[in-house]
Chain A
Amino acid sequence: MAVIPAVAVREARTARLRRRIGDNLLAYAFMAGGLFCFALFSWYPLAKGVILSFQQDNFVVPPYWVGLDNYRAVFDDPLFWTAWKNTVLFTGLALVFGFALPFVIAVLLNEFRHLTGFFRVLVYLPVMLPPVVSVLLWRSFYDPGNGLFNTVLSSVGLPTSQWTQSSSTAMISLVLVSTWANMGGATLMYLAALQGIPGDLYEAAELDGAGIWQRLRHVTVPQMRFIMLVLLLLQIIATMQVFVEPFLLTGTSSPDTVTVMVLIYRYAFTVNNDFGLAAAMSVLLFVVLGAFSALYLRLTRSAD
């Protein structure tokens, strides 16, 4: 084997070092724009949000420290508990419909041999609409006077409803439109997961004498457990941030449908104009949602 001269080795080494430095400079030049955006609009606001929650800031006087006053004020606000109660109620009801229904529909569609593309497009169509459009469209359906729902109900002899305008049905009205607008995504994800279940499992279960319900319970559901858990977490995170539905259907002042996000909006932009209060509320929401997010990331990361 030929001996490589020491000079050549040194030269190769400096060349490699120079290329490493060049690559690094270039890499950070490439990332400059992205880092700028992340630093200013993601990392900085996070820090600012926490700091703000301990400050008094209303744009009139320069912000000053108030310790835990914002948190105390938020906890003392009677709407605070109402907002959390409503948010949990919305999330719970949204899960009853939005979690079970897509699963049932996906299992059904997965058995179909005809029109599958058509069904898929239809169920996802509402997801494509801007949320403002879906909600405002449903607002006209919900009209207690001559909205479509009451017209249809009364034409088949069923009792009509006040929908969003009665405190007993307001929340369920919000959940219905939210489910209609969002269930397509979960349905298609379930469908994709269902297609990944090996057919042998059903075959084997059937040979063992398992009926259709037993196969559903002992093959489909266990095989889908992971994706169901992931979608459950995603849905909890998404529905706890509900805003458009209450904002457009019942307004920000109706105590029946004040949610955490609506309350944050009120604190910051309408009633109080107090960013400290809004920040304190945001931090609390963040802690709750952060727990779900962390769980979600752990699950999906470990699955990789």
Chain B
Amino acid sequence: MTLTAPPPPARTEAAAAPPGRRPRRRGTPGGVRTLVSAVDLNRHRTAYVVAVAGTMLVFTAAFLYPLYWMATSALKTPVEFAQNVPTIVPESFHPENYTTAWTSMRIGRFFLNTVYYALGGWLIQLILDVAVAYALSKLKPVFGRVVLAAMLASLMLPAAALLVPAYLTVADVPIFGWNLIDTPWALWLPAAANAFNVYVLKRFFDQIPNDLLDAAAIDGAGRLRILRSVVLPLSRPVLGVVSIFAIIGIWKDFLWPLLVLQDPEVQTLSVALSRLANTSQVPPTDFMAGLVIASVPMIVIFLIFQRSIIGGLSAGAMKG
């Protein structure tokens, strides 16, 4: 076969065809073909518009309205809140319910507790898990595979099965004899034993070419310096995803903090709200304000980092 042979005419036609068929799909770059073809979609324009509008209506009612209801209920008076026909827009406007909740329900205290636990837990998880992943990936110690397998095996353990023995362990740590109940360490140390983080980080570090590390080593950088100046800057995306999920995980956790944080002074928002929900002294409107305050940081994180969160979720779906 010669290199200069002209392509058969049929070929050129086929090659020319795609540009001609390009505008088959409006609104999608590249025109990805899905279940319904663009032709059908254009033919049934009305049905499509109705479907999108209907979905928007249902989604708004199902997912947005409950949050709107929560935020506006917190602005009402208890009397208006208890009305048989709920008002969509609050008749009276009492933003002071939020400040009352913050101070007299001491939501502020629990909020700061939770922030402290989330940030501390995030930092410890990141430091310890990055160190483990880096050692396993780039220093390749003897028994490294065994260590990794033992860590991954813990992914198989449902959290529920470890609840009681883990509680007893935290109440009396073997060898050291510490009692971590009611201390932040009861949340932080078990959270650092996160095999998923180690796995994700190690996989990412594995993809960093060793030549790059060797080059830095020749320039006189030690292992720690290589981690700090070469590996970590390259790993920003994966560190971001691990960080976000670490903070969300601690913020949303309930059963474990319920067990290990018994003193009301040190409880997280979730635990405190579940306790306050069963007392009758709290006005329902203030309580709604408490629920809103507990949700706001998560919603803000979601709106800022939605790309990473949704991307991380999708990557998880593909790789498992």
Contact = CB atoms under 8 A, between A and B. Distances in A.
Contacts of B129: 34
B257 to A, nearest CB: 10
Interface string A282-293: 110110011001
A85 interface: no
B248 interface: yes
A285 B161 contact: yes
A57 B162 CA distance: 16
Given A24-B139, A132-B270, A148-B86, A38 B151 contact: yes
Contacts of A260: 160
Contacts of B60: 122
A78 interface: no
Contact of A122 (B64, B147, B151): B64
A50 to B, nearest CB: 8
16 contacts: A31-B131, A34-B129, A37-B192, A46-B162, A114-B52, A130-B252, A130-B270, A137-B70, A193-B318, A202-B34, A203-B37, A215-B35, A264-B160, A268-B163, A285-B160, A297-B155
A26 interface: yes
Interface string A136-147: 110111000010
Nearest to A33: B128
A237 B158 CA distance: 8
Contacts of A208: none
Contacts of B163: 264, 268, 282
Q: For this complex, into which size category does the number of interface residues on chain A fall?
A: 35 or more
A57 B172 CA distance: 14
A189 B313 CA distance: 6
B192 A34 contact: yes
A155 B320 CA distance: 46
> Interface on chain A toward B: helix, strand, loop, or mixed SS?
helix
A12 interface: no
Contact of A148 (B69, B135, B299): B69
Contact of B156 (A151, A202, A297): A297
A131 interface: yes
A52 to B, nearest CB: 6
B159 A241 contact: yes
A141 B70 CA distance: 10
A113 interface: yes
A188 B158 contact: no
A170 interface: no
Contacts of A110: 34-35
Interface of B: 25-28, 32-37, 40-41, 51-52, 55-56, 59-60, 62-64, 66-67, 69-70, 73, 82-86, 127-129, 131-132, 134-136, 139-142, 144, 147, 150-151, 154-170, 173-174, 189-190, 192-193, 195, 198, 223, 248, 251-252, 254-255, 259, 269-271, 273-274, 277, 284, 287-288, 291, 294-295, 298-299, 301-303, 306, 309-310, 313-314, 316-320
Contact of B64 (A28, A46, A57, A125): A125
Contacts of B131: 30-31, 33-34
A42 interface: yes
Contacts of B142: 24
Interface of A: 23-24, 26-28, 30-31, 33-35, 37-38, 40-46, 48-49, 52, 57, 107-115, 118-126, 128-133, 136-137, 139-141, 146, 148, 151, 155, 180, 185, 188-197, 199-200, 202-203, 206, 212, 215-216, 219-220, 227, 230-231, 237, 240-241, 243-244, 247-248, 260-261, 264, 268-269, 275, 278-279, 282-283, 285-286, 289-290, 293-294, 296-297, 299-301, 303-304
Contact of A43 (B27, B127, B150): B150
Nearest to A32: B131
Which 10 A-B pairs rank lowest in CB-CB distance, beginning with the nearest?
Answer: A199-B33, A300-B320, A192-B314, A189-B317, A286-B161, A27-B141, A34-B132, A27-B139, A49-B165, A113-B27
A48 B165 contact: yes
B167 A268 contact: yes
A229 to B, nearest CB: 11
Contact of B147 (A35, A41, A113): A35
A303 B136 contact: no
A140 B70 CA distance: 10
